[in-house]
Structure 1
Amino acid sequence: MPSLPLRIAILETDTPVESIRAKYGGYGSIFKALLQAGADNLKHEGLSSTSGLEISSFDVVAAHEYPKLEDVDGILITGSKYNSFDNDRWIVKLVEFTQEVLRQRRVRLIGVCFGHQIIGRAMGVKVDRSDKGWETSVTAIDLTKRGQEIFGRASLALHQMHRDIVYEYPPEVEQLGYTDRCAVQGMYIEKRIITVQGHPEFTGEIMRTLMKLRHEMGLFNKAEYEESIERADKYQDGVIVAEAFLKFLLND
């Protein structure tokens, strides 16, 4: 088991819209708050929102910043508005860095939405637009037997905001969950990777803000927008997922 404090590097692959950033900070801050809540719920000796976590953030988009692997125990790749299958310089560099992490065995990888897809791409499977369209707002996720063991419940409810998907599981990966719109909702390799397609870090307010913005951009019609907004404030299992991330990092 890694010794405490757990040193977690958050790779920020996007910047929140202004109103969200003003209230919550960048995605590094949003994930830090989520992991702290997970630590309090986990009740692991020496680990809480105020002790046992050393969280740093890196701007991989504009600044091309990355942690040194010897300085961290885990790396979390955030969600993003960008396409994980594009070949922008920073995206290609992120894929190459992810492959570097995968080649070693000590530092563990966590992927969320775009980050989940980047890990899939780095492992050589197809990542692209879904032919089933957008998946949005609080959504029920069916868990596999392994997923139920990892998350400690029969199913998960998580915010979703994506129309890109990982099309298949890499051969060595354990499947964690699925929905009608996305068959690859989570990937797992013990002591190496854990990913979710959903957004455990989102709140109802963040989801409503994004839905309103993207509706105004014409990405959702009125019916799609209203249906998603109705689900935005439903219960979701973000803190449960944060607990699972921390258990994954602590597992020896």
Structure 2
Amino acid sequence: MDIAILKAEITHEPVKKQACDISQLYSNFFDGHHVTFFDVCAQQYPEKHYDLYVVTGSAASAYDDTPWVIALRKFIRHNSDKRILGVCFGHQIIAQSLGGKVEKVGWNLGCREVFIQKREAWMEPDSQKIYAIFNHQDQVVVLPENATLIAGGQQVPIQMYRIADNILCMQHHPEYIAKYQQALMKHIAHVIGDMPTIDDAMSSYQDAEHLFSMRKWVNAFFAEKI
């Protein structure tokens, strides 16, 4: 696949030194595919067609009225017939752009369980529960009208959804590795400000060996549409 990564986040230097840049994580996740990065914070967008558009995580909120967030919502609305993967903020802004609703509900950090609520044919290997990395304080509270809920849980009822057969979204970070998330949490600890929450998240990384690779699911969902 020829993939456009709509990059809405930056990796701060301390995190790069301890782990890597976010671009490297996406390149690794889509190993074997051709990826091109676009800085949507600077309102850089593809000028040609791509097989897949990926909207990344971000420190911004999907409901912000900053010019670049408004432009990204407009891009999503105008390209909702294309193949799109939404990750964390991407998952949120796609919902917000297409009739859903996003709200700030508090921090959800660390390795957490994701419970599959709707089994679909592309979800091989089959699993009813997976472990994934979360790092967010906003979440989708109302799905777009034509969305199908795939996974949820008590703290995050809307963890994964799809729209038709061309848009797939997930609140967790399938591209993250534990080392990157740990470095990031140390860097933003002063922003989080809740040490019990941070300590709980850090202790959750003992489950990192159980992290589920979403690569096969993502590849299967999109590849059969090309």
| CA deviation after TM superposition for structure 1 residue 176, in Å | 1.1
Rounded Cα–Cα distance in structure 2 between residues aligned with 1:9 and 1:76: 6
Rounded Cα–Cα distance in structure 2 between residues aligned with 1:236 and 1:14: 26
**What residue number does 2:68 align with?**
90
Letter of the 1:125 counterpart: G
**What residue number does 2:103 align with?**
128
Specify which structure has the higher proportion of strand. 2
Moved over 6 A (4+): none
Letter of the 2:44 counterpart: E
Rounded Cα–Cα distance in structure 1 between residues aligned with 2:177 and 2:218: 18
**Are positions 1:57 and 2:59 aligned together?**
no
**What residue number does 2:199 align with?**
226
**Are positions 1:160 and 2:160 aligned together?**
no
Q: Deviation digits for residues 90-141 of structure 1, max 9, x if unmatched? A: 0000000001111x3xx300000000001001111111101xx211100001
Rounded Cα–Cα distance in structure 1 between residues aligned with 2:122 and 2:219: 14
**What residue number does 1:179 align with?**
153
**What residue number does 1:17 align with?**
12
8 Å contact from structure 1 (residues 138, 236) kept in 2: no
Letter of the 2:223 counterpart: L
Question: Would the alpha carbon gap of residues 101 and 128 (structure 1) be closer, same or farther in structure 2, given more than 3 Å must change?
Answer: same
The number of residues matched between the two structures is 223
What SS does structure 1 have at the residue aligned with 2:119? Answer: helix
CA RMSD of aligned residues (A): 1.9
**What residue number does 1:204 align with?**
178
8 Å contact from structure 2 (residues 153, 159) kept in 1: yes
Letter of the 2:108 counterpart: E
8 Å contact from structure 1 (residues 27, 78) kept in 2: no
Q: Deviation digits for residues 17-57 of structure 1, max 9, x if unmatched? A: 21333576543332111122xxxxxxxxxxxx3xxx22111
**What residue number does 2:28 align with?**
33
Letter of the 1:67 counterpart: P
Question: Would the alpha carbon gap of residues 157 and 116 (structure 1) be closer, same or farther in structure 2, given more than 3 Å must change?
Answer: same
What SS does structure 1 have at the residue aligned with 2:123? Answer: helix
8 Å contact from structure 1 (residues 12, 77) kept in 2: yes
Rounded Cα–Cα distance in structure 2 between residues aligned with 1:95 and 1:139: 28
Question: Would the alpha carbon gap of residues 159 and 236 (structure 1) be closer, same or farther in structure 2, given more than 3 Å must change?
Answer: farther
Q: Deviation digits for residues 77-96 of structure 1, max 9, x if unmatched? A: 00011111101000000000
Identical positions, percent: 23
8 Å contact from structure 1 (residues 9, 56) kept in 2: yes
Q: Which runs of 5+ in 1 are unaligned?
A: 1-5, 37-48
Question: Would the alpha carbon gap of residues 148 and 113 (structure 1) be closer, same or farther in structure 2, given more than 3 Å must change?
Answer: farther
Rounded Cα–Cα distance in structure 1 between residues aligned with 2:54 and 2:212: 15
Taking the TM superposition and a 5 Å limit, the aligned residue runs for 1:104-115 are: 104=81, 107-115=82-90
Q: What is the TM-score normalised by the length of structure 2?
A: 0.91
Q: Which runs of 5+ in 2 are unaligned?
A: none
| CA deviation after TM superposition for structure 1 residue 10, in Å | 0.3
| CA deviation after TM superposition for structure 1 residue 231, in Å | 1.1
Letter of the 1:66 counterpart: Y
Question: Would the alpha carbon gap of residues 197 and 237 (structure 1) be closer, same or farther in structure 2, given more than 3 Å must change?
Answer: same
